[in-house]
Chain A
Amino acid sequence: MTTLLSRRRLITGAALTGSAMALSGCDALGQSPAFRQFLSSGEWLSYRIQRFIVGDALAREYPPEALSPTFRMNGNTRPESAEWERHAASGFSDYRLRIDGLVARPQSISMAELRALPARIQITRHDCVEGWSAIGKWTGAPLGPLLDRAGLAPNARYIVFHCADDFRGTPYYESIDLVEAFHPQTILAYGMNDGDLPIGHGAPLRLRVERQLGYKQAKFVMRIEAVESLEGIGRGRGGYWEDAGAYEWYAGI
């Protein structure tokens, strides 16, 4: 009996040691710069191949009965910036969206002006990087015509969205390339589920870029900047989560 137990313990011990070694090996690999380089190759491949396959196809749009009964709120639900608080207190009547950077005509657009522009309404699925999904109805101004109005410089390659919210003092921001920026479903939403965009979902403006994951859907957008390179912004990886961890800039999968 005792020999059986000790043999069992020996085998279990050996198996545990073996798997622990394999596991710490994976953890060590995940920390090594060269292997991280290899682990980034998937993002590059996905970006190239998915872009090639998808072309300018639209994300699926759903009928009203497909809406999630409750759309989960995520990320920051209320910015702490004084500027945003001031705007929120006055119902965003003095808020102006700025479009600047590499543009011929920098813009400063009020909410009333934005609402007066041709609007796009779409019922789409929001897929969070964590795995959950929610279907919501968004009303907003397509981004492409706004960028045309500002007149992008020929060397502009990315559109950066500067937001009013922050995580422990680090401001939220996101960026997309021009293919996504001029996609017809890419809008600055001011309405959600037939009402005004709620504060928890990003009032006054939330970016909807429907063929990408949730962390790309920047909330509380204050300023849009056209840039040639993402290097000078934040820590240079194109977004708050991209800077904070190893999240991919290309969030198509």
Chain B
Amino acid sequence: MSTTEFSPPIPDAPIVVRRHRLSTRLWHWTNVVILFVMLMSGLMIFNAHPRLYWGDYGANPDPAWLQIGAEQERGYLRVGALQIDTTGVLGRWQNAEGAWQNRAFPHWVTIPSSYNLALSRRWHLTFSWLFAGGLALYALVSLINGHLRRDLLPKRAELAPSHILGDIAAHARLKFPTGEAARHYNVLQKLAYLSVLAVLLPVLVLTGLTMSPTMVAAWPWLIDLFGGRQSARSIHFIAAFAMVAFILVHLAMVVLAGPINEIRSMITGRYRLPQEKTR
């Protein structure tokens, strides 16, 4: 690393920096597996009761703010007063054998693929230990080795509205940092990764725990924090889809920023600084 710092950059010669530590790379790739399992087993658990509520209680006699169901051979998604026909995808769809099923999420996004609440709970509740354990360990390591402070916390100047707006404008034109500026995360990257690490993932873990009758006996403040057990279930579901949205944007950015360089940097840790396009 130090040799590249001191040798004067020869024009067009690629500068390779050490981008991702081993802890980041390990956490990233184990999460690829764990998050897929958590999401897909979670969708099967949702299928057992495809209705969401606010407050502490909520069951079939109570009003749901979100519901996926089927009526007269049509599948629907209902959010508040809005109802969308989702036949074929949500509420009513055909399984691998072509038979129509009245279930919320279809077989190709759930683990297991045919309805089995007990087994999906086994997947979800075992992988949740890997998920929460990995998150706690990574957060601790990042705190100790300075990753959090050095790479993820935005500097004061970066938080100036003009800087953030400039970064948004550059992203909108798909202009990504090159040369020295690409050595560090830009402010939008920092804010995105920080909000996932410090907000979204902990919210997923804590709302998950709030659904446990034993855990809320131990820590009743969890119920108050999320406004009730059914609110916690709703927030768990919303946060899961926020995570899906993050992953989709993340994948799009990897593709736009140069997938080979980006993926290699997450495997080997080495990242080639993109060059300024002069021609």
Contacts and interface: CB of A to CB of B under 8 A. Distances in A.
Interface stretch (B20-28, B148-156, B217-225): B217-225
Interface stretch (A61-69, A82-90, A157-165, A222-230): A61-69
Nearest to A23: B113
Which of B113, B209, B215, B233 has the most chain A CB atoms inside 10 A of its CB? B215
A57 B212 contact: no
B56 A50 contact: no
Contacts of A43: 122, 125-126
Interface string A36-48: 1011111101100
B48 A46 contact: no
B58 A132 contact: yes
A128 B108 CA distance: 26
Given A19-B108, A50-B215, A125 B48 contact: no
A62 B56 CA distance: 10
Nearest to B60: A72
A206 B60 CA distance: 22
Interface stretch (A100-108, A143-151, A209-217): A209-217
B215 A252 contact: yes
B119 A54 contact: no
B222 to A, nearest CB: 10
A127 B213 contact: yes
A113 interface: no
A134 B108 contact: no
B206 interface: no
A156 B165 CA distance: 68
Contact of B125 (A68, A70, A253): A253
A45 B127 CA distance: 11
Contact of A135 (B45, B49, B56, B129): B56
B59 A72 contact: yes
B214 A27 contact: no
Contacts of B212: 50, 252-253
B51 A248 contact: no
A36 B233 contact: no
Nearest to B133: A45
A20 interface: yes
Contacts of B45: 131
Contacts of A135: 56-57
A132 B51 contact: yes
A128 B122 CA distance: 16
B113 A133 contact: no
A131 B233 contact: yes
B117 interface: yes
Interface string B51-77: 100001111111000000000000000
A45 B129 CA distance: 8
B229 A125 contact: yes
B216 interface: yes
A236 interface: no
Interface string A1-45: 000000000000000100110011011001000001011111101
Interface string B96-134: 100000000001100111101111011101111100000
Given A60-B217, A211-B217, A36 B122 contact: yes
B51 A59 contact: no
Nearest to A47: B214
A173 B122 CA distance: 21
B48 A131 contact: yes
A59 B222 CA distance: 12
Nearest to B110: A23
A55 B214 CA distance: 10
B58 to A, nearest CB: 6
A153 interface: no
A116 interface: no
Contacts of A253: 125, 209, 211-215
B214 A133 contact: no
B207 interface: no
Contacts of B108: 16, 19-20, 23
A38 B122 CA distance: 9
B241 to A, nearest CB: 16
A60 B116 CA distance: 30
A129 B211 CA distance: 10
B213 A129 contact: no
Nearest to A38: B126
Interface string A173-205: 000000000000000000000000000000000
9 contacts: A42-B127, A51-B214, A54-B215, A66-B56, A71-B59, A131-B46, A132-B59, A246-B118, A246-B122
Q: Shortest 6 CB-CB distances between A and B: which pairs?
A: A42-B126, A252-B214, A253-B212, A70-B61, A132-B59, A131-B49
Given A40-B126, A245-B116, 10 more contacts: A23-B108, A53-B215, A57-B218, A60-B220, A66-B57, A72-B59, A125-B56, A130-B48, A131-B211, A210-B213
